Every structure is written in C-alpha cells, then in structure tokens.
Structure 1
Amino acid sequence: MLKKPKVLIVEDEHDIANIIKDYLSVNQFDSHIVNTAHEAIHYLQETMPDFIILDLSLPDGDGIELCRKIRENSNVAILILSARSSDTDKVLGLGFGADDYMAKPFSLSELVARIHAHLRKQDRWLQHNVNPLEVIYIDNMEINKNEYTFLRDNKTISLSAKEFELLFFLAKNRNQVFSKSKLLDAVWGYDTYGDENTITVYIRRLREKIEIDPSNPIYLQTVWGVGYKFSTPNHT
C-alpha cells in the first residue's frame, strides 16, 4: 500500500482548517492541523511533513516569520494560504522561502492540484539524484544538484529548494532564454495555476545571493519582453 503524503495545515480558522483536512483526506493525503506558530514549530521538531499549508495571520506570530524559520532547517514545500492578497505580502512570503501562494477565498480542487504538482516535481528531482553526481562549475561558483548546495568562492550560500532548482535549471541551460511560463513549468511543474510574478520574485532573490551587484547582474539577465537567461558571455 502506498504511503499517503503527509501535509501540515497551519491555520487558526478552525472551519477552514477542517474543510481543507477533510478534502485532503478524500484525495488520499494524511493531514494534521495546528493553530499557532508555536504548535507548528513543536510539530516540526518531531515530524517532517511532505508539504505545508501556511496561513499568514496566526494568533501568536506572523506566518512569514514562521516560513523563514522553517526554511532555515528544511526544504519542505510550503504553500502560503492567506486572506492577505497584496503583492507585498506575496513578495515577502516567496522571498522568505515559500514555494507558492494562494489568496483566500480559494478553490479546494486548485489547492490539491498545486500540492500534487509540487510533490511530483520533488519526486522527479529525487529520482534524478540517484544518477551520477552532477555538478555545474561556472567561474567561482559550484552548483551541486545531488547535495542541493551552492558555493561561491568555496563558501556555501543558503538557497531554498525552489531557488536552487531555478538556478540549476538556468545554469544547466545557460545562454538560453526562457519565458516566465516556461520556467514555471520547468521548475514548479505546472503552468495552469502559476503566477508569473513568482518568477520575478525568485530571480530577484537569486540575484541578491549570487551577483556581486544585484542591480547590475552579470549572470541572471533579463531579456526584455521575453524572459530570463543565465548568461556566461566569456564562456563557450
């Protein structure tokens, strides 16, 4: 019998949390509800789920700060589900390591579709990691897919799972231009429900981590009206 994916629901509105839990149960997920940031941290110290659904407005703290704390210790996929639908909240959530963002009210079927998409993508990457070691070296950078590590000048720079996957995909296909929709499909595993602003946020975060001057990027180039590419102008 296949193991059911484990989903942690961090939501203080009990009715919404129970509706999500019931719907996930019908769709063969094993879900657990916590109502506060403190409960979430305690749960994660004992159990690591396959996916986290995180509300931003919690009674004992801000969900964005909780997202940041989770990301310090885990690459588990995180989807923010919040009534705060402003671009600022979305940028902050994605910037602190969330993989996806949905605004309330929301479609339960869409929520499940996004969870499946993230888990499929995660499975594909794990399967790829049984292949021989694959490492990309560019200038003073090392991008190691098997270990999900990024080094610059032999120093490890912390990246979230999705930041790494986006960087690896662009670096592996360097000097090729990809639209936002193509990057969503390649890295997130879906494009039907994707918000292309997600790519903008992740490119900005990556530039802050890999570029010497993020405002004048050398590697992560914008091709206006088309998309982005990882540029290596001095390499063949």
Structure 2
Amino acid sequence: MSKILIIEDDLSIGEMMSIYLYEDGYEVKRAENGRQGETLFREFQPDMIVLDLMLPDVDGIQLCTMFRQTSHIPILMVSAKNEVSDRVKGLQTGADDYLCKPFSMRELSARIQALLRRSNTFTPQAPSSSDTVIHAMINLDVEKRCLFVAGKSIDTTFSEFEIMKLFWQNQGRVYSREELLNRVRGFDSHVTERAIDVHIANLRKKIEDDPKEPKHIKTVWGVGYKFLLL
C-alpha cells in the first residue's frame, strides 16, 4: 500500500482528498501547514507528496526545494495559481506535476497513479503467496490487495476490494446490500446502500466478459448478491 502525504491548509479540500485517496486504497496522512508537513515527512516516510503551493507558514516552493534535497519521491503540487509562470516555477523547483484548483478527485487520483508508476513506487506483482486465490482468468492476492483478470492487474477502490475479498472467501453465499454496507462502512462512512450497487456495477465492469450478463457476480433478486467462480 503506497503512502501519501497531503500538505494542505484548506480543511475541506484536505479532508476531501484524504477520504478519496483512502478509499482508493492508499495510506494517507495530512498536514495543515508546512512545519507539520516537515515533521510527517520524516516520521511517515511517504511514497509521494501532494503539496499545496500556498501555505500559512512556509512557502510551498521553499518546502518543495527542501524535500528535493533529501528525497526523490514524486511531488504533486496543487494551487489556485494557474499562471504559466507559477507552474513553471513549481516544476523547476522539483515538483513532478502541477494541478490547478479546482480539480476533480478523479483527476487527482489519476495523476497520483501515473506519478507512482513512473517512479516505480507502485509496482503490482503477479500473485504468488499462499494467500492468493487462483482461477484460470481471475486471481485475487489478498496479502498484496491486488486483483488480476487474465493476468492483468486491475485497479480497485478500497471498498471494491473489500467486497471482492468477502465474495472470494465466501463463494456462493448470498449477501444483502446491508451486509455488504456493514463490511465497508468501517472504511468509508459515506457509503450508502445505493453506493453498494455502484460498487457492484464497477466490479462487474472489471471482471466480467459481459457486465450486462454477469457470470460471476450474480444478482439474487429481492435479496442481494453472490459470487460464483464457475
């Protein structure tokens, strides 16, 4: 699990990023100012930093320069400043990418995945441990939290993987939406029963040959869902 350090003084934006990235399966720590960010950088030892350019105590450019003196981990700079000169200055200082506010959480996640892949910090491996469930087309590595379909690593959110793991460990058992909700609520307090249907739809798109005619994640009408390996 990759570790992300967010240094953002805006409470609402910082919390939104933290929740979304946690849901995506990252271990996340957040600092509200530069000094706290320096401390967490040393103690947390993140795999990547999301750094706000404008902080109340330390300039983001200055902080980026300091991080670059001791580390080569990816740095994604975020800022409300969208002038070309600001972006160039951030990149010249040592940031690997620059994202202008406002931005969508999906774009934030995509930028982070791309940076981690390029830095070889995020390198999913083929399942090989004793805690790996193997099938001809679908593999689940519980220890590494990796889902493979036809040998290809498939990205999942934290909640999607928790649902998939529950299905794998209890194949054929029917789960109601409420039971699945209780499974993931501890990780994401914002999940609703309607969101469970969305998670199921997303999982079907990722593992089924035809999501409209699923062979693995079956709907049990009036009750919920079950998983069949076939």
The match for 1:109 is none
Aligned-pair CA distance for 1:166:
1.5
- Indicate if the aligned counterparts of 2:8 and 2:30 stay in contact, CA closer than 8 A: no
Task: Answer yes or no: is 1:228 the counterpart of 2:222.
Answer: no
Q: Does 1:68 align with 2:110?
A: yes
The aligned residue for residue 55 of structure 1 is: none
2:52 alignment partner in structure 1? 39
Structure-to-structure mapping, 1:77-92, within 5 angstroms: none
2-side partners of 1:168 and 1:8: how far apart? 28
Identify the residue that residue 205 of structure 2 maps to in structure 1: 208
CA separation of 1:193 and 1:134: change in aligned 2, threshold 3 A: same
CA distance in 1, matches of 2:223, 2:201: 17
Q: How does 1:120-159 map to 2 (within 5 A)?
A: 133-159=130-156
TM-score by length of 1: 0.49
Deviation string 1:175-227 (CA, Å, 9 cap, x unpaired) is 10111121122234279864112211111111111000011110011112211
Q: For 2:202 and 2:15, how far apart are their aligned partners in 1? A: 34
* 1:184 and 1:191 in contact (8 A); partners too: no
CA distance in 1, matches of 2:155, 2:190: 28
> How many residue pairs get matched?
149
Is the counterpart of residue 177 in structure 1 residue 190 in structure 2? Answer: no
- CA deviation after TM superposition for structure 1 residue 156, in Å: 2.2
Q: Give the secondary structure class of the aligned counterpart of 1:218.
A: coil
| Cα contact 2:177–2:193 (8 A) shared by 1 | yes
> Do the aligned partners of residues 192 and 151 (structure 1) sit closer, same or farther apart at CA in structure 2, a change above 3 Å counting?
closer
Give the Cα–Cα distance (whole angstroms) in 1 for the partners of residues 203 and 15 of structure 2.
36
Partners of 2:217 and 2:15 lie apart in 1 by: 42
- Residue 31 of structure 2 aligns with an amino acid whose one-letter code is H
Aligned counterparts of 2:101 and 2:164: Cα–Cα separation in 1: 36
From the superposition, tell whether residues 220 and 71 of structure 1 become closer, same or farther in structure 2 (CA, over 3 Å).
farther
Judge conservation of contact 2:8–2:14 (CA < 8 Å) in 1.
no
Residue ranges of structure 1 left out of the alignment (5+ in a row): 1-5, 21-29, 48-57, 75-131
Q: Give the superposition deviation at 1:164.
A: 2.0
**Which sits farther off after the overlay, 200-209 or 63-72?**
63-72
Identity, % of aligned positions: 26
Partner residue of 1:106?
none
RMSD: 4.0
Cα–Cα, structure 1 residues 173 and 62, in superposed 2: closer, same or farther, change >3 Å? same
| Alpha-carbon distance change, 62 to 186 in structure 1, aligned in 2, over 3 angstroms | closer
